[in-house]
Structure 1
Amino acid sequence: MSGIHKRHWPGDKDRRALALHCMMGNAAYWGPIAARLERRVDLSAFDMPGHGRSGPWTDQPGGPDFHTAVTRIAASFIDRPLDLIGHSLGATVALRIAVAAPDAVRSLTLIEPVLFAAAPDPEQAARDAALADLLAQGRAEDAARGFIDIWGAQPFDTLPRPAQQTMARQIGLVAQTEDTLTRDQAGILRDGGLESIDAPVMIIAGERSPTVIHRIADALAARLADVGRASVPDAGHMLPLTHPDQTAGLIALNLDRI
């Protein structure tokens, strides 16, 4: 794994925050969110391996899986309690950190967490099986198309050709996270784990997101001690990108709860 590209939006030096992006995204989309937070937090982010300006991901024999590697990178930013914000895959990393080290988190904002193990869903299982089948056939672009048409901000075929090619290269990472997201290999849902988080939590979903997202939010909220819920009207999975005003407003609301 090569170097990790870090991003920083200055703000209140006494209130540090870390934002974690989604699969096939990059940390740049936190810029509009940071601007709307108006320097109330000192916000850092990074491009995950194989994303944005970071180096490629290389799966090393005996090394950490992708989700674990990203979690370790995120944890390296934490030297005192901070506000943790995550979207999609990034939200599952944020939740994994909060379960492992509740004292490290001042507030936790989970945007569309894709921890499918929390709410097993036949439609999602079918999507996972279709993705695996396309990858086994070497049809990476078709696999990326199927993924983005469900989880992206716009249909795959409307994206610029370079973006399509990048996503086709990245799509294998989606399959590599299945053990954690679908089978909870990391033990995020272990007994007493979610219950140990005493920081204020906000779970945000897009109104038009797949049903499984709302079921995951229900399952997580039922086990959290201090949790708020929000659904953004007319938004889908990529609401930090498509609805930055509403997303930043809800993040700010959670920041104000501590």
Structure 2
Amino acid sequence: MAEPIDLWPGEPLDLGGGRRVFVRRDRAPAHGRARPRAVYVHGLGGDSTNWTDLMGILHTEWAGEALDLPGFGHSPPPPGGDYTVDGHAGAVARLIRSGEEPVHLIGNSMGGSAAVRLAAEHPDLVKSLTLIAPAMPDLRPRPVPYQMAASVIPVLGPAAYGLMQRRPPEVRVQDMFATTYHDPSSAPTRRVMEALEAARERDTHPHAETAVLRSLRGMVAEYVRRGRRSLWRQAAQVRCPVLLVYATADKFVDPRMAARAARTFRRSRLVLMPEAGHVAMMEFPERVGREVATFLRGVGSGGPGRTEAAPAAAASAGGVPRRP
């Protein structure tokens, strides 16, 4: 991996209606050519810095904007404490409408869920959709997701989560890399120190625990939602081209869901990354960057259509995943 780059600069942005978010933007390259917009949406417990390296790889061709979702990072809580997937998707939609649209929308985990809802309900805002380990409903038991879901149990759950958050920030950061990376020892020292600084900063925000717990509650609600607004039904309604990036060592999102996702999204390309964890764009930014760049160039040239087993995806994944 190349030497980690500096964090992209950011500033607060007023989205109207009492909503403010912190947005990081990349710097335009020297050639000065117009670049299509790419908007990045992080997952639960993350922030805009999760996209630093991927934005750096893609910024020569696409103008990157990564927001801290309401209540996360440097963004203040949302009005009324709305941490639902609808609330997060609404914040992203407002950000998109603040500039040129439609955009290339890129989401990870919970950010992927919000991106799916936005793309299904506001297709005019989304030119393409890239989903990295999207948190789509899956009720099959897995240890880490079930432990997280237990945090929303009234009284006991928040109390247990609060105790975990009172561990030293060094322990929490170590645990974060252990659960989100396949090989946590591969995390550059600079990124670990940035994560530690961010954890200490979060400890100064009284709303930080609330943001995680209520967002988690919103995700649980989506996992049991039925009807026309269920996320899988909305996935089938997405019209734009979709790049799906799953990882074989993901402790949060079962990689077996990749096959269902490839069948459900009508115009999808699937990449299954071996020996990668939940935040592949952080663990392997160059590999993810190559796939995303190839995909976005295809969208810009008028493709791609639906591919059941895209050659590039099969090559990078070691084959197409079996049907779950």
TM, length-normalised to structure 1? 0.81
Q: Does 1:113 align with 2:130?
A: no
Q: Does 1:69 align with 2:109?
A: no
- Residue ranges of structure 1 left out of the alignment (5+ in a row): none
Equivalent residue for 2:307? Answer: none
Equivalent residue for 1:5? Answer: 22
- State the distance in 2 between where 1:217 and 1:248 align: 19
- State the distance in 1 between where 2:202 and 2:91 align: 22
Instruction: Please state how far the C-alpha of 1:242 moved relative to its aligned partner.
Output: 1.6
Instruction: Please state how far the C-alpha of 1:47 moved relative to its aligned partner.
Output: 0.7
Q: Does 1:245 align with 2:286?
A: yes
- State the distance in 2 between where 1:242 and 1:165 align: 23
SS in 1 for 2:231: coil
Q: 1:73-103: per-residue Cα shift (whole Å, max 9, x none)?
A: 1001234221110011111111111111223
Conserved? CA contact 2:248–2:272, under 8 Å: yes
- Residue ranges of structure 2 left out of the alignment (5+ in a row): 1-17, 167-171, 186-192, 300-324
Instruction: Report which stretch shifted further, 233-242 or 10-19.
Output: 10-19
SS in 2 for 1:127: helix
Alignment match of 2:38 (pick from 17, 41, 49): 17
Alignment match of 1:163 (pick from 199, 206, 221): 199
Equivalent residue for 1:152? Answer: 180
Equivalent residue for 2:117? Answer: 96
Residue pairs, 1:1-258, within 5 angstroms: 3-11=20-28, 13-57=34-78, 59-60=80-81, 64-79=82-97, 80-115=101-136, 117=137, 119-123=138-142, 126-133=146-153, 135-142=157-164, 148=176, 151-153=179-181, 154=184, 160=196, 163=199, 166=202, 169=209, 170-184=211-225, 187-189=229-231, 191=233, 193-210=234-251, 212-258=253-299
Count of residue pairs the alignment pairs up: 250
Instruction: Report which stretch shifted further, 130-139 or 215-224.
Output: 130-139
SS in 2 for 1:250: helix
- State the distance in 2 between where 1:51 and 1:141 align: 20
SS in 2 for 1:3: strand
Conserved? CA contact 1:87–1:111, under 8 Å: yes
Q: 1:181-211: per-residue Cα shift (whole Å, max 9, x none)?
A: 42237924364x3333232111111221137
Q: 1:21-68: per-residue Cα shift (whole Å, max 9, x none)?
A: 1111111232211211142111112111222111245654xxx44322
Distance 1:165 1:213, change over 3 A: farther
TM, length-normalised to structure 2? 0.66
- State the distance in 1 between where 2:252 and 2:38 align: 30
Identity percentage over the alignment? 22
- State the distance in 1 between where 2:57 and 2:64 align: 12
Larger radius of gyration: 2
SS in 2 for 1:177: helix
Instruction: Please state how far the C-alpha of 1:219 moved relative to its aligned partner.
Output: 2.1
Instruction: Please state how far the C-alpha of 1:13 moved relative to its aligned partner.
Output: 3.4
Instruction: Report which stretch shifted further, 86-95 or 27-36.
Output: 27-36
Distance 1:141 1:40, change over 3 A: farther
Instruction: Report which stretch shifted further, 32-41 or 175-184.
Output: 175-184
Conserved? CA contact 1:9–1:43, under 8 Å: yes
Conserved? CA contact 2:242–2:269, under 8 Å: yes
Distance 1:138 1:57, change over 3 A: farther
Conserved? CA contact 2:134–2:253, under 8 Å: no
Conserved? CA contact 1:107–1:254, under 8 Å: no
- State the distance in 2 between where 1:212 and 1:107 align: 22
